[in-house]
Amino acid sequence: MLYLNIWRALTPLNELPGPAERIMQAKHDSQVEQLLPLLTPLFGLVVLLFSLWDWRLDPAHAGAALIVRVAAVLLAGVGYWPNRLGWSVTTRCAVIYFCHAGAIIACAWLLQPGLQAGMGAIAASIFSMSVVTLRLRNFVAIVSAPTLLFLLLATLQLGWQDLANCVIQYLFALVLAASVMLLFRLFHQRAFLLEQQLLHLSHHDSLTGACNRLYLEQVAERELALAQRHGRSLAVAMLDIDHFKQVNDNYGHDIGDRVLQELVRCCQGALREVDHFGRLGGEEFICVLPETDRAEAQQCAERLRASLASLRLDTPQGPLRFTVSIGVAVHSPQHPDWPALLKAADKAMYRAKHSGRNCVRLAGTAPEELSSPPAPS
């Protein structure tokens, strides 16, 4: 019952939602890959040092065992570094483990008194795999080939009673090693989630959940560099809530905070996954729209403006509606970098304010060339 309770305590170690699980696995694989060139020669040295035990235990067969160990260590070298076969880190670990553990099992089988005397080393080798993977199925895949080799050789050499004892010891070691692996995953997962939480807090506005200004500028600079490198379009839309001070004065700052939160929720729901939405400060927000030309940017801005104008917030003072003024700028020789692009969007947004609010204005376009703005709500 105790072991069952321990196992149940480890069962919440299900895979994280999609991208988070992939990020955690990729980070762990990267760490393991960096350690492989250092650790695997050490494992090989340990396998070779067992030859001293071989000579003491069975000098007659120690020479053959040494040949097996050296061959296995050399063969394991293909997994030390990335190769042209494109093996994953898990595959490389499986090859290395099979060579090393297989050498230990085969040498124990060659020597007298046989596999029973080598069960300690065989069981210890299993635990080395507890830290190279975070997935139970990968752990099973890595240890499967050495396990089959052990069962085959044990069946050929041992009687039924000795075979049963060795198999029980081996399975017990497997279960303990798998439990250690799951416990290691638990600590790794908690550390990863905490790191992701801190990373999210450093990149996002605490009130609205939108990107903060520093992170948004980093993202915008990266998207602009990609647009310039590949000759793609890029647009920026700046939003400002109309008469936001009156909202705070008439309804209170708590309602003003709700307005900001609803604006972010509505805009994030209306934008694409590749778009970026952030808060510059106060009631000003920015949309970074990759691969968006002038006409598409205006359509997107109009869609956002109309969606926000249709929102209705219930408050103790009655229903509350609000509108936004939006300025749009598109990357061009006139706006070659992020500060120039942001400044152009800011000027276009103030033109929208002066044009009656609750409307969209494009940078570099005369007001009379646009349709008249809707009446403010």
Looking at the structure, tell me whether residues 151 and 292 fall in a common domain.
Answer: no
For 32-53, what is the mean pLDDT? 85
Picking from 170, 203, 236, the residue at the C-terminal end of a domain is: 203
Looking at the structure, tell me whether residues 42 and 173 fall in a common domain.
Answer: yes
DSSP 191-209: HHHHHHHHHHHHHB-TTT-
Radius of gyration of the chain (CA): 32
Total domain count, the chain: 2
pLDDT in tens, 287-300: 999 999 999 999 99
Query: Would you say residue 287 lies in a domain?
Result: yes
Looking at the structure, tell me whether residues 274 and 248 fall in a common domain.
Answer: yes
Instruction: Return mean pLDDT, the chain.
Output: 87
- Asked if 303 contacts 242 with a C-beta cutoff of 8 angstroms, the reply is no
From CA 340, how far away is CA 7, in angstroms rounded?
Answer: 59
Output the pLDDT for position 9. Answer: 46
How many CA atoms, within 13 angstroms, populate the side-chain half-sphere of residue 215?
A: 15
What domain range includes position 315?
Answer: 213-369
Picking from 203, 228, 263, the residue at the C-terminal end of a domain is: 203
Query: Would you say residue 113 lies in a domain?
Result: yes
Poorest-pLDDT segment among 43-57, 79-93, 142-156, 264-278? 79-93
Strand order in the sheet with 360-362: 276-281, 284-290, 234-241, 324-330, 360-362
